[in-house]
Structures are given as C-alpha cells and as structure tokens.
Amino acid sequence: MSRFTLIREMFVKYESDDDLISANLKKEYKLIHNMCQHFITPRKGSKHKVSETDILTMYHLFHGLEINLPHIIIHHIIHAAKNSKSCVPYGMLLTLVFKKFHINLQKEKFDIVYLEFLPKNISHMKKNPSIGAPKNNIVPDQADTTAKPAEEENDKAPFEDLIDVGQVHQILSK
C-alpha cells in the first residue's frame, strides 16, 4: 500500500500536500479523523490538518486491521515532549500509571512549572461573566414552543449523511 493510494482512498480532493486537511476527507473518514485528533493522538492548535500518523491510523481503524496503539502513543508523547513547551498529552492516563506504580516525581526537575489551584489563586479569578456576554431575558414559560425542532422537519437521522450505517456494522462485526 503506497502513501498516494491511501490518500486517494481517503480524500475527495488531492493535488498537493496542502490539500491534506479534514475538509477534504471523505465523509466516512471525517468521523475517524475526529477520533484520532481528540483521543488517539491529541494535540493543541489547529485541528484541520491531517497528519501522516492520522492517515495510517484511520486506514487501520476503517479496515479493521490490527494496530500497535501503545507504539503510536509513545511516539506521540516523545514528539510532543521534543516539539512543545506545554504539557505532554495523556496527562490523566500517565497520572494513573504513576500512582499505580508509586512513582515519586517530587525530585524531578521541570522546565515549566505550573501553579496549583489554591483558594488564594482562585480568589483572583473573575466571578462575573464578561461585559459582552449576551443576556437571555426570556422566561421559560414565555418561550415559543410551537416551532418544530430541525430534527423533526428532516426525516434523516442526524449523522445519516456522514456515515453509511451498513458499512459501520460491517466494520464492527469484523
């Protein structure tokens, strides 16, 4: 399987690597890309770029092929630690691992130190909404309940146009 074959399978439009964005993905791959960018390889910043790791992960997930997820996660952590000055991804998961194996991090040196949330710090935070926040003056009893919700007007299920249900059942049954 070549890189170009995968790209041609997943993307509606591809002329250059600038076209490797989520807007150009076929409908069935958009959902899988969403899972990749938020859960499998979480990242900060722009969410529209489709990385090479995303392409391979989406291919394996879509076709029900085995994938070495720990390998992907470890390399994603290493890449994030080298190229970012912010926190490493999977912080909540790593915290559970460190607690489970009683790893003491008190003597570790960190480049960036984050302050804890203490009552003193929290008291400095604004308690009121910002000035530009819109105010809703409608009392619940006065709300217009005669209009039909958009879902009832349209006979389609909310995600019916994004995925083929038969194809999802076929993937899950593998």
pLDDT in tens, 117-138: 677 666 666 666 555 555 555 5
pLDDT at residue 29 above 60? yes
Q: Which structural domain, as residue segments, surrounds residue 46?
A: 3-127+149-172
75 found inside a domain: yes
Distance from C-alpha of 26 to C-alpha of 159, rounded to nearest angstrom: 14
68 found inside a domain: yes
Distance from C-alpha of 53 to C-alpha of 36, rounded to nearest angstrom: 9
60 found inside a domain: yes
pTM passes above 0.75: no
161 found inside a domain: yes
Written as six digits, the tokens of 158 are 């909310």
141 found inside a domain: no
Question: At 114, which amino acid appears?
Answer: Y
132 found inside a domain: no
138 found inside a domain: no
133 found inside a domain: no
96 or 156, which is more confident: 96
| Number of domains the chain is built from | 1
- Hey, CA dihedral for 8, 67, 161, 47, is it positive or negative? negative
Q: What is the pLDDT of residues 137-160, one digit of tens each?
A: 555 555 555 555 554 445 555 545
User: Which position has the token pair 């935070």?
Assistant: 125
Tell me, letter by letter, the H, E, C secondary structure of 30-52: HHHHHHHHHHHCCCCCCCCECCH
